[in-house]
Chain A
Amino acid sequence: MCDSCGCVNPEEQITYKIPEGKSENPVGHVHESNSNLTGGHSHSHSHDNHSRTIQIEQDVLSKNDQIAQVNRKYFDRHSILALNLVSSPGSGKTTILEKTISSLKDLPVAVVEGDQQTLRDAERIKETGAPVIQVNTGTGCHLDAGMVHTAVEKLSLDKKSLLFIENVGNLVCPALFDLGEAHKVVIISVTEGDDKPQKYPTMFQAADICLINKIDLLPYVNFDIDRCKEYARQVNSGLTFFELSATSAQGFDIWLKWLQQRMDKLST
């Protein structure tokens, strides 16, 4: 059954590919068990003539959330800072990653790339020298915790490293799926409408970090940064903002400094 129309088995559609060419790290394994993830249900039930009711009382996304917790524990134990990057298509997620990785030369960085199709983003990341794996979701509109679990098993992650998970470009669906990340980072670019936080509140509610990208284009577009931040704060008063441009590097030092500080806080 596919994620959009119910046509075939989604497991057959999801692929994990490491782009060919020079590999900085050999493919390794994360020894983490995700067995016993499905919970049971209670057996209290009422009877009538032909049917009975079984109480289940389980969150619909409990399986995803349990795998996300396994991922989170793994990241914690290995001092890996995992960031889940979410945005509309075209906000500049991959360009931000390229710039971030090439600027953080002393820090081990790895990337899980999520897209419906193609290896393009993974190939771009590979050029930076960072270990990367591409998850193609087929028709699926978001990454889930199980996909990240499998992807991380296939990547070789150094202890005390930074893991970027670039979600499928979609400002709606990825909001509901915990991947085990430390921070959900929502990215908006100034070529979009500054009212996006109000139009897509679920995502801005779920995130705790907000990057406003392409600020070098501000003179050419009708985008009011203060208004955008105000709209976003109305949805989520706890958001932390970074205003930057991945192409001109404007504001990038503050973002890099925050990442470095966050990494320094991780236990060894």
Chain B
Amino acid sequence: MHEMSIAMNIVELASAAAHDEGAQTINSIELDIGLLSGVMVESLEFCFEAASRSTPAQGAKLSINTIPGQGKCMACDIEFPVKTFTDQCPQCQRFLLNISQGKDLRIRAITIAD
């Protein structure tokens, strides 16, 4: 369950940023998670609860922006929305996909209590 590692990294980054600002409590954490990132949001939320225990992030709300997948066909050069790694090019029906968006796994911002 790699979501636990991911959750621990989120807690670490968020707590360090809060500490730099002199804040004790993090109210919310804004994340970008791509549909092709390999991370399950439900699992991440579950792990976050455990990972944030006794840290400034305990009880923080996870606000998740889901980033849709986008790809380019290496044969026709057209861009199209991608749901899975095995999506075919809508034009040539080939599987020559270059993923340009959707692998995102980013911490955007935190909201801290003053």
Contact = CB atoms under 8 A, between A and B. Distances in A.
A58 B4 contact: no
Interface in B76-114: 84-86, 95-97, 99, 105-114
Interface SS of A by simple majority: mixed
Nearest to B94: A237
Contact of A3 (B5, B14, B106): B5
Given A4-B1, A173-B1, A173-B2, A53 B95 contact: no
Contacts of A234: 85-86, 95
Nearest to A233: B95
Query: Mostly helix, strand, loop or mixed at chain B's interface?
Result: mixed
Interface stretch (A105-113, A197-205, A250-258): A197-205
Contacts of A10: 8
Interface string A30-44: 000000001011000
Given A6-B4, A6-B47, A6-B50, A60 B86 contact: no
B67 interface: no
Contacts of B113: 50-51
B13 interface: yes
Interface residues of A, number: 45
Contacts, number: 123
Given A4-B1, A142-B5, A233-B95, A54 B106 contact: no
A202 B20 CA distance: 35
Nearest to B12: A63
A175 interface: yes
A195 B39 CA distance: 21
A201 B74 contact: no
Contact of B9 (A52, A55, A60): A60
B2 A141 contact: yes
A51 B1 contact: no
A1 B21 contact: no
Interface of A: 1-6, 10, 38, 40-41, 45, 50-64, 140-142, 144, 172-173, 175-177, 198, 201-202, 204-205, 233-237
6 contacts: A3-B8, A52-B111, A54-B21, A176-B6, A201-B85, A236-B85
* 8 pairs of A and B residues whose beta carbons are closest in the complex: A6-B50, A173-B2, A202-B38, A234-B95, A201-B85, A60-B105, A53-B111, A235-B85
